[in-house]
Amino acid sequence: MASGSAYDLFRAGLALAALIGYAAIFGYGVFEVWAPPPGGVQYSQALLYIATGIGTLVGGVVAVNFGIKQPGTKAASRATFRSTMERLGKFLLGGANLRYALGLIYAGVYFVVGIAAIITWLVHSAEATDLVKNLATTCFAMGLAIITGLLGTPQ
């Protein structure tokens, strides 16, 4: 399919919507633990489930793209950081020119918000909401999967 096709634009729009939703929901969730509103923080079960699904989707996209080996390379060799970010951007945008930047932004937002959730849970463990705990555990697990993929398996 050609670069800039309706399919590529649709895919990029969905990826951007998921990332914005992820950053908004979880970013605000982390903020509320540090500065709780009067009456405390309350979320519906539906929001918690949808937010966890979005967090897993965004994290899964990042983790899968970190774990894919460069085409034409041996299993033991590893992709460079730049090629990983370009691959992530290509996955999100198809053939568009800003693949590296988009991959970097997508992975950066995922990890910045995820690390903020982990720190928030560690510092405010008694006040941390299920929303923050779910993101912290998901991001931690995805981070372990990425690190394992980067380190590789012994031959």
Break the chain into its structural domains and give their ranges: 19-151
Mean pLDDT of 69-98: 59
Comparison of pLDDT for 50 and 102, the residue scoring more: 50
pLDDT of residue 71 exceeding 70: no
- Alpha carbon distance 24, 72 (integer Å): 39
User: How confident is the model at residue 144, as a pLDDT?
Assistant: 83
Mean pLDDT of the residues in the chain: 79
**What are the residue ranges of helices labelled H in the chain?**
6-34, 45-67, 81-93, 99-123, 130-151
Nearest to 7 by CA among 84, 102, 96, 105: 96
- Alpha carbon distance 53, 69 (integer Å): 26
Least confidently predicted of 63-67, 75-79, 135-139: 75-79
- Helices 6-34, 99-123: crossing angle, 10 deg rounding: 20
Cβ neighbours, 10 Å, residue 82: 11
pLDDT of residue 75 exceeding 70: no
41 touches 124 (CB < 8 A): no
- Alpha carbon distance 70, 86 (integer Å): 11
What pLDDT band is residue 77 in, cutting at 50, 70 and 90? very low
What pLDDT band is residue 16 in, cutting at 50, 70 and 90? confident
User: How confident is the model at residue 20, as a pLDDT?
Assistant: 93
